[in-house]
Amino acid sequence: MRFEKIKSHAKVNLSLNVIGKQKSKLHNLETLVAFVDLHDQILIKRINDKNHEVKFSGQFSNKVPKENTISNLLKILDKKKRIKNHKYSILIKKNIPQKAGLGGGSMNAASLINYFVKKYKINLSSKERYNLCSQIGSDVILGIDQKNLIISYKKKITKIKKNLKMFTLMVKPNFGCSTKSIFKRVRRYSKPQLLKIRSKNIDFNLMSKMKNDLEPISLKKYPRLRKLRDYFLNIDKNSYVRMTGSGSTIVGYFKSKKAALNAKKLLKKNYKNYWCNLSKTI
């Protein structure tokens, strides 16, 4: 049996507002999410074995823990007999860095959920789908459709049907941010802002006025991240710059590829050891 290929795209948070805290101590969030053409590649095929085989390769494979989003997903599906006791060989080439705010591991799990749902015609209600995703990670639900989304207050999901047509320059320092550590430092909450926004009204100007509530916290905790952000801000006045997720990736958003390429040259010259990727929204 041949391997089937799956693309697992990185996500960026164009905005992220922390609205409050639940009784479970998890935070209520609203966010505007876009997907970019940077992706991990997943190869999958059925095997005649007693156990699944999961292997990682690529630039960012060495820090993937033994227990990860893929192994956790397979355990859940096996326990519920959703994949008929079949076993799989899964090879994942990691092009998306960890602890970057780009959702690499979460999107891998979401991509496989989509694959298995289609292959085995698994019928999942919205509630079942949400519960399955939440058992693996809070961001997994974002990757189920891999479409640009508005997640507004009370988890209302609105798909953005149009391509946002932006070039993204993603720069990650040689360290990652702990999501748990960043959220522990949240002291103030925002009022819901995305509920009234219609997807057809989202444009570059509107997105440039949004914010990420976690950014000030991460910048304070990591001075090198603040230095990178401040340098990025001065490169192109027609672009805007924002941290994605809880960091540590800083993203510049550009209307033209030429402007993004120019910014990349300057950043690579001054931050030679930082990971840098030029992509575009899909």
Q: Which of 40, 93, 99, 139 is catalytic?
A: 139
| Structure tokens belonging to residue 97 | 């860095």
Burial class (CB in 10 A: 0-12, 13-18, 19+), 198: exposed
Q: Which residue has the tokens 């960026």?
A: 12
* 194 closest CA partner among 209, 172, 175, 179: 209
11 as an active site residue: the answer is yes
The full length of the chain comes to 282
Contacts of 152 (CB under 8 A, 6+ apart): 30, 158, 192, 194, 195, 197
Q: Chain centroid to CA 30: how far?
A: 14
Catalogue the E-assigned strands of 3-111: 4-21, 27-47, 53-57, 87-93
Q: Which two tokens stand for residue 110?
A: 């979401």
Catalytic site includes residue 139: yes
CA neighbor of 242 nearest in space, from 40, 37, 31: 31
What is the bridge-based pairing of β-strands 149-152 and 27-47?
antiparallel
Which residues have a Cβ under 8 Å from the Cβ of 110 and sit 6 or more positions away?
8, 133, 140, 141, 142, 143, 144, 146
Kindly compute the dihedral angle of the four CA atoms of residues 9, 150, 167, 244, in this order, to the nearest 10 degrees: -70
Per DSSP, 76 falls in state H
Catalytically annotated residues: 11, 139
